[in-house]
Structure 1
Amino acid sequence: MAEYDYDLFVIGAGSGGVRAARLAAMSGARVAVAEEHRVGGTCVIRGCVPKKFMVYASEFASHFKTARAYGWTVDDPRFDWPAFLAEKDKEIARLSGIYVTNLQNAGAELVHAKARLVDAHTVELVGKDRKVTAAKILIATGGRPWVPRDMPGVEHVITSDEAFHIEQLPKRMVIAGGGYIAVEFACIFNGLGVDVTLVHRGPNILRGFDDHVRAHLAEEMDKKGIKVLLGCQHDQVTKGPDGLTSHLSSGHEVTSDLVLFATGREPYVEGLGLEAAGVETRDGAIVVDAFSRTSVDGVWAVGDVTNRINLTPVAIREGAAFAQTEFYDNPTSFDHEMVASAVFSQPAIGSVGLTEAEARRQHGKVDIYFSRFRAMKHTFAGGDERALIKLVVDGESQRLLGCHVVAQDAPEIIQMAAVALKMGVTKAQWDSTCAVHPTLAEELVTMREKYMPQDLGAAA
């Protein structure tokens, strides 16, 4: 590889790109990474990490309320948005610095510039009047928020990228979208005392999740005062003396102080020079095989830019698999089956495997185990928040095909459930596990009665 400047050039210093770069550099390869923004990518800078801090902050309102029922005196708790933002920004800066340090300690070179492909082995560093060559090029540029750019008044809205830097907490807010980002922000700002209206064009929120989960969370959000308007979308946004007015396709108008569009994300391929290099794309995403190879020899891609499973741990595993294959002589491909996910709504969702509808389409006969109940903590405090647990089981082999939990600690619970489902656990093996009492999670291993559709009313 001596005829090239680098053995590996990575475009994008997010989770997937950094993991690949570090592992490759640690093998002794000459590695460079180009990043046009801050090191850390979507997850660390403008995604899961700062959003989780916001989730924690927003949960205290309900914690204070519950605390009173448990004998605590909580006098006049107040939330300081600017103070929270300052602490959040300090922590994000610290984490971004760790990413930089880890790259440098591994021996990788960091270049602060936008990179553009010239051909399969040449990269132009935009604005630096410099071109470099590499034996292998890895694209890991992630995604970015999508907004309807031709919508009248789109200049008045913000996206999830800007939601972490709002100078003043609004009193009223409209959020467009029904995916996990929109739902999480709706719960966050509601918890912080904002009057939130969620607008979604579909018949229910969280497309792709189990239908029981979707309906259950929509009901819980309604209990918390979040107004959910379904079957409509924004026609335009106008600015007036009373704030911003969302003009909806249903004929409704909603006036607010802030409009946040969380209507999905798209692979960030703009200005990458993919056409010049001949890299194939489909629906805006880079097409790759099981080993993250693109249509061009010498060019690979991992993470959200490939639009496979757009989760940070997946990007990390794809990046690691690439490095193992190309720099450690250990051919490795990441298995995208049975990947668990979480929605940090309130209550939160943990999900792994197939939904009931997917399981019926793929396997025919399935057995469903379903429970909906008030958790012990809320029962004592007189709250009406309900948890939901659902198992989807293959009717023939009795192998667990899916596990879905909606509860305060659902993301923590689903991680261990994912281990069992990944290993192909059967319902009998699952049931042979002794419950941990008293916990919410024990309901997972104590459900014996099969659920029938007409049981839903009784279960509720």
Structure 2
Amino acid sequence: MADQATAQEFDILVLGGGSGGYATALRAVQLGFTVGLVEKGKLGGTCLHNGCIPTKALLHSAELADHARDSAKYGVNVTLDSIDITAVNAYKDGIIAGKFKGLQGLIKSKGITVIEGEGKLQGTDTVVVNGTAYKGKNIVLATGSYSRTLPGLEIGGKVITSDEALTMDYIPKSAIILGGGVIGVEFASVWKSFGVDVTIVEGLPSLVPNEDATIVKNFERAFKKRGIKFSTGVFFQGVEQNDDGVKVTLVDGKTFEADLLLVAVGRGPVTANLGYEEAGLTIDRGFVITNERLHTGVGNIYAVGDIVPGVQLAHRGYQQGIFVAEEIAGLKPVIVEDVNIPKVTYSEPEIATVGYTEKAAKAKFGDDQVDTQEYNLAGNGKSSILGTSGIVKLVRQKDGPVVGVHMIGARMGEQIGEAQLIVNWEAYPEDVAALVHAHPTQNESLGEAHLALAGKPLHG
């Protein structure tokens, strides 16, 4: 190991080059800091290489397959001959390669020192990489997450995680997906569009269980209409695999058989054996505990992204990275609570939400202190043109601001930007009702919902 007294020193040393880590680095150099960025894999992390970008590329291919399949009802006679998974993967990998190259160039152009290798925290101001010590006046931990499995459920053969699913060179005839959260339903959506017989197994009472109850009801109805099967409310017990595929057994004795099992039960924090506990950090179930300003309570060590308890989203990590760089610079950035971070599930249909669900709002403000409003996309011209159905649901603190926006339907994720501003800026329905929404757009659905909540509905 190099003599730590002469180790290369940075104003900010970031451990992890994913969304949270590289955002920290980029904002820090803007603020005049010297930055070292440690990454054992590829810059961009899970989101770019094994998560957000590749899955959304697959979902786009799946959307095109659906369009081809349904083209006749729009007066376009197209036949869907097959899904060329080799070409699909080439398209997906090309997107990743382009974004990766761009990120590498950006990091280099900003003068950020990239340190390749696995880093381990040593003390409160040092990270050791491949036997060499690097010092940081401030340390930012951004080591990301990994695909979880269940105790006793080993990954291998026909039992895979999303990592393996993203690199498959064939399309299975059938698949069981263990987990009905975001990852599970997105892969279910892709595979169904590719012609796979899909069954989701979810131990909790519903699919996408963290969403508003009205959204859940609409989502499950849409998946049933698409022919995606699911079993909810009964937990997984075990799986057997052989040359023909897998057999999954639930605790109630029910069984399912398919070509493979995708384990999509969430992601765990990458914090083990990295020196965090030895440095005095508080670790709870693998997560790094911080205060509301993302400081760990030890030295000048901060943590961002998936290793911090809360919603595991790339854009949350990205925002936290910017926040920490500005915090270190003394700029006193504004805290964005997890509940006010937008979330999108990119299945067909899409779910886009920000703020409190109706249930959570009533728990916070009181049952009689919450108003809701639903707007059906059947009344929206652009949604009818696209052939989609769904709703926009608003949750309002009684006589107060809108505290939740929940949307379901094709492409509704594109509406989340305005919804985020409405909730985070504590807008009243009357404020939004006064705004002009272009016609015909799906964005009008937000305006119509707020008109209704303000007591002046035009189409309802």
TM-score (norm 1): 0.91
Which residue among 237, 242, 256 is the counterpart of 2:239? 237
> In the TM superposition, what is the alpha-carbon distance from 1:49 to its structure 2 partner?
0.8
Aligned to 2:430: 428
Change (3 A) 1:311 1:360: same
- Tell me which amino acid in the other structure corresponds to 1:416: E
**Equivalent position of 1:114 in the other structure:** 118
Return the offset for 1:406: 0.4
Specify the SS of the correspondent of 1:430: helix
Say if 2:370 is the partner of 1:369.
no
The total of aligned residue pairs comes to 446
Deviations 1:107-151 (A, max 9, x none): 1111221111121112221xx232222222111011111101413
Do 2:395 and 2:403's aligned partners in 1 also have CA atoms closer than 8 Å?
A: yes
| Aligned-partner Cα distance in 2 for 1:213–1:77 | 34
Q: Percent identity?
A: 28
Native 8 Å contact 1:151 1:235 kept in 2? no
Displacement of 1:380: 6.8
Residue 190 (structure 2) aligned to one of 188, 191, 211: 188
CA contact (8 A) 1:202 1:230 kept: yes
Conserved? CA contact 1:153–1:236, under 8 Å: no
String of CA shifts for 1:331-384, please: whole Å, max 9, x gaps.
Answer: 325322522111101010111111111111112221111133546577579x6x
Gap change, CA 1:362 and 1:274, over 3 Å in 2: same
Aligned to 1:165: 167
Alpha-carbon distance, 1:392 to partner: 1.1
After the TM superposition, list the runs of 4 or more consecutive aligned residues in structure 1 that deviate by more than 6 angstroms. 152-155
What do residues 389-425 of structure 1 show as CA deviations (whole Å, max 9, x unaligned)?
111112232x111111101121111211221222111
User: Structure 1: how far apart are the matches of 2:268 and 2:155?
Assistant: 21
Choose from 76, 84, 91 the match for 1:87: 91
Relative to structure 1, the CA distance from residue 152 to residue 293 in structure 2 (aligned partners, 3 Å threshold; closer, same or farther) is closer
1:198-347, aligned counterparts within 5 Å? 198-326=200-328, 328-336=329-337, 337-347=339-349
- What CA distance in whole angstroms lies between the structure 2 residues aligned with 1:207 and 1:376? 30
Which of 379, 392, 412 is 1:389 aligned to?
392
Report the Cα offset of residue 66 of structure 1.
Answer: 3.4
TM-aligned CA distance change 1:296 to 1:335, over 3 Å? same
- Which residue of structure 2 aligns with residue 60 of structure 1? 64
Q: Does the residue aligned with 2:340 lie in a helix, a strand or coil?
A: coil
- Alpha-carbon distance in 2 for matches of 1:387, 1:234: 31
Q: 1:290–1:333: 8 Å Cα contact kept in structure 2?
A: no
Structure 1 contact 146–265 (Cα < 8 Å) conserved: yes
The 1-side partners of 2:441 and 2:319 are apart by 32
Query: What is the TM-score with the length of structure 2 in the denominator?
Result: 0.91
From 31, 35, 41, the equivalent of 2:35 is: 31
Query: Which residue identity does 2:288 align to in structure 1?
Result: I
1:311-348 alpha-carbon deviations (Å, 9 max, x no partner):
2222112111211222x342325322522111101010
Is 1:200–1:229's contact at 8 Å kept on the other side of the alignment?
yes
Structure 1 residue 84, shift from structure 2 partner: 1.2
SS at 2:277 equivalent: helix
Shift of 1:43: 0.9
Could you list the per-position Cα deviations for residues 161-203 of structure 1 after superposition, in whole angstroms to 9, with x for gaps in the alignment? 2211012111101101021111111111111111110000011
Amino acid at match of 2:21: G
Does structure 1 conserve the Cα–Cα contact (< 8 Å) formed by 2:155 and 2:161?
no
Instruction: Tell me the equivalent position of 2:457.
Output: none
Matched, 1:74 2:75: no
Q: CA deviation at 1:65?
A: 3.4
Cα pair distance change 1:102/1:449, threshold 3 Å? closer
Q: Helix, strand or coil for the counterpart of 1:274?
A: coil
| 2:88 alignment partner, SS class | helix
Cα separation, 1, equivalents of 2:59 and 2:31: 39
Give the unaligned 5+ runs of structure 1: 452-458
Calculate the aligned-residue CA RMSD, in Å: 2.4
**What residue identity is the alignment partner of 2:98?**
R
Letter in 1 for 2:272: E
Q: Distance in 2 between matches of 1:379 and 1:95?
A: 34
Question: What is the alpha-carbon distance in structure 2 between the residues aligned to residue 149 and residue 112 of structure 1?
Answer: 32
Q: Partner amino acid for 1:47?
A: G
Query: Matched residues in 1 for 2:154 and 2:45: separation?
Result: 30
CA contact (8 A) 2:69 2:80 kept: no
Quote how far apart the aligned CAs of 1:4 are: 5.6
Which amino acid in 2 is paired with 1:388? I
